[in-house]
Structure 1
Amino acid sequence: MSSTDAWALHRPGGRDVAIMAVAVVGVSLSGPMTALVAAPALAIAFWRNAAGAAALLPVLLTRERAATRGLRWRDLLSSVVGGLFLAGHFAAWLPSLSMTTVAASIALVTTTPIWTALAARLSGVRLPAQVWWGLVLAVGGVALIAGVDVTVSWTALAGDGLALLGAIAAAGYVLAGAKARQTLSTSAYAVVCYSTCAVVVAVAALAVGVPLTGFSARDWWLIAGITVVAQLLGHTLFNLVLSTVGPTVVGLAILLEVPGALLVALVLLQQLPPLLALPGMALVVVGVALVVRASRPPTVVEPLT
């Protein structure tokens, strides 16, 4: 099946909406929980991916074992590419948080659905104008929630560039996943993708001297919780619907993590939301609604030259 078919924009059904709702809750819990962990960010990224792959391996070897018969290396290639992009996302975005403002980093890294939509358009999928308006409104809403404060310096500029690179890498991750899920089960894709990401992140952590062990019991429990809510209920459920709704809808749904995390932080951490949070949330919801409403079986055109 071609990338045009895999990257098409489809209106989610009731089952897809329910699955994505649970996934949004999962990833929304990730940020506030990660803020409570003293362990380095790269260590968290390694363990959530390694543990996520280990948790799904029994499913792959038992319930979905039949789906692995006859698989060839090229069938797994998109999964490996997805894992490399996911590792690139972590490697680019995490350093940006300390180089530019957190607000600017979040606003830039959440441009992921715009990049997936551009890739779909370049592959030959014609997207309605309403989809582009929805994407702009949703990303603009995230920027309002983050309360972007522009900082002019070479370091901040480099951090902004890394955050943008993290968004592009995240788009590559969901695009590769959409292609892989055309031929692979969710567990087969996730095990290969998460394992690849864990290996690359581990090598990067060792290269820069970031420890992967030696944390407190509290940190280990929090990392286990992050693995369950963010990796298994979040990423894996999003990967489950990639083959039915397409990467742009999934990327847009992930944007709901920002207002979701804000609400979770309000309840768990007693952190008051910024002044522009409510209008920002409204823009995100309206933007998502516009894209979903405009979603329909795509019209394929010749790729742009």
Structure 2
Amino acid sequence: MTSLNRAGRSIYLLFFVGIIAISFSSIFVRWSTADVAVIAMYRLFLTNLLMLPFVWKFRHEMMRLNFRQWALLLASGVMLALHFLLWMGSLRLTSVASSTVILALEPILILAGSVWLFKAKINRMMIIGMGIALLGSIIIGAGDFQLAGTALRGDILSLLGTIAVAVHMLLGQFLRAGLSAFSYNFWVFFVAACTLAVYNLVNGHPFGGYAASEWGIFLLLAIVPTIFGHYLFNWLLQYMNATTVSMGVLGEPVFSSLLAWMLLGESLNGLQMSAGVVIIFGVWIFIRYGKTKPQPIPSDAPLAGKGPVEPTVV
């Protein structure tokens, strides 16, 4: 087996880990009784806290950003904050299946943006793979879509949150060309957390007084879907384009719906489970036949077994 093949398999494995990790996000949010803006704020601040032991190694790069990089980081962080605020808010108004299936629009938005901004090339098999995955996503959420009351408001919030995260990912592809994953993630998460802190302050949301179980949920959100999910996806932008990375979100309805069925008692029928297989097949076609293949992992990367383990790989 060549080193390139090993690197490609490692990338795909990490990609799968990221999909599983982000699927837990909706479950943790449902378990919490705190305001979603507070949940998102502490989720990101705790992520930054977990990253602090590694800051020293990247201190020079983190403080030597130019005006354009700072501006893009600010915009990317604000978009990430909006995504968390809107999408997490949707989970209080509609089902996990409905909310996560709307996120399936993210790859289409990012693909359109990549073609426009990066002149990305697409082929017929990529479009077929995306279409198959989208069809499976629609089947999963179809039984839960409601066109009235709080469910409709929840679906609209999820759609707006999807647009926000698509912009965040496209800005990330610009920034990751000249920044390490650690520097990019640390500053983007910090900007997003501060944005949410201002929002909470303006709206009078309490910053303390939460039960130990709530702090446990905040910490779980920081570790599982943020570090093992968003952080990992941002790291993968170094080896995969934004459209391919965003395809991971199409796997989220599958695992989120399964978790919601097991842990929250939400309904899941045989048709929806079959649709999950369709989604995974579509994602596989998109990645397998995409024109942009994973780049080989450099020799000094932690996956190569050399050098210190950096949090960007966790």
TM-score, structure 1 length as denominator?
0.84
1:285 aligns with 2:273: no
Q: 1:144 aligns with which of 135, 139, 143?
A: 139
1:135 aligns with 2:130: yes
1:204-283 mapped onto 2 (5 Å cutoff): 204-269=199-264, 273-283=268-278
- Look up the match of 2:158: 163
- Look up the match of 1:116: 110
C-alpha distance in structure 2 between counterparts of 1:38 and 1:236, whole Å: 25
How has the CA–CA distance of structure 1 residues 31 and 156 changed in structure 2, closer, same or farther, with 3 Å as cutoff? closer
C-alpha distance in structure 2 between counterparts of 1:153 and 1:254, whole Å: 26
C-alpha distance in structure 1 between counterparts of 2:97 and 2:21, whole Å: 21
Answer with 112-121 or 135-144: which moved more: 135-144
- For residue 266 of structure 1, report the CA deviation from its aligned partner: 4.5
C-alpha distance in structure 1 between counterparts of 2:107 and 2:172, whole Å: 14
3-state SS in 2 of match to 1:244: coil
- Look up the match of 1:73: 67
3-state SS in 1 of match to 2:19: helix
Q: 2:84 aligns with which of 80, 90, 107?
A: 90
Per chain length, whose mean CA-contact separation is higher, i.e. which structure has more relative contact order (CA < 8 Å, sep 6+)? 1
How has the CA–CA distance of structure 1 residues 148 and 88 changed in structure 2, closer, same or farther, with 3 Å as cutoff? farther
Structure 1 unaligned spans of 5+ = 1-11, 299-305
3-state SS in 1 of match to 2:237: helix
Contact 1:79 1:189 (8 Å CA) reproduced: yes
Question: What does the per-residue CA deviation read over 1:183-215, in whole Å, with 9 as the maximum and x for residues that have no partner?
Answer: 111111011100111111122223333333211
3-state SS in 1 of match to 2:210: coil
Q: What amino acid sits opposite 2:133 in the alignment?
A: A
Answer with 165-174 or 198-207: which moved more: 198-207
Structure 2 unaligned spans of 5+ = 1-6, 294-314
Contact 1:76 1:192 (8 Å CA) reproduced: no
Question: What does the per-residue CA deviation read over 1:87-112, in whole Å, with 9 as the maximum and x for residues that have no partner?
Answer: 12123333444556654433223311
Q: Percent identity?
A: 27
Contact 2:133 2:282 (8 Å CA) reproduced: yes
- The size of the alignment, in residue pairs, is 286
Contact 1:85 1:172 (8 Å CA) reproduced: yes
C-alpha distance in structure 2 between counterparts of 1:209 and 1:97, whole Å: 21
C-alpha distance in structure 2 between counterparts of 1:198 and 1:128, whole Å: 38
- For residue 155 of structure 1, report the CA deviation from its aligned partner: 6.5
C-alpha distance in structure 2 between counterparts of 1:212 and 1:35, whole Å: 19
How has the CA–CA distance of structure 1 residues 157 and 13 changed in structure 2, closer, same or farther, with 3 Å as cutoff? same
Question: What does the per-residue CA deviation read over 1:134-164, in whole Å, with 9 as the maximum and x for residues that have no partner?
Answer: 2222122122222344433487655443322
Contact 2:121 2:291 (8 Å CA) reproduced: no
How has the CA–CA distance of structure 1 residues 274 and 202 changed in structure 2, closer, same or farther, with 3 Å as cutoff? farther
How has the CA–CA distance of structure 1 residues 25 and 150 changed in structure 2, closer, same or farther, with 3 Å as cutoff? closer
C-alpha distance in structure 2 between counterparts of 1:31 and 1:197, whole Å: 19
Contact 1:147 1:276 (8 Å CA) reproduced: no
C-alpha distance in structure 2 between counterparts of 1:29 and 1:154, whole Å: 26
- Look up the match of 2:27: 32
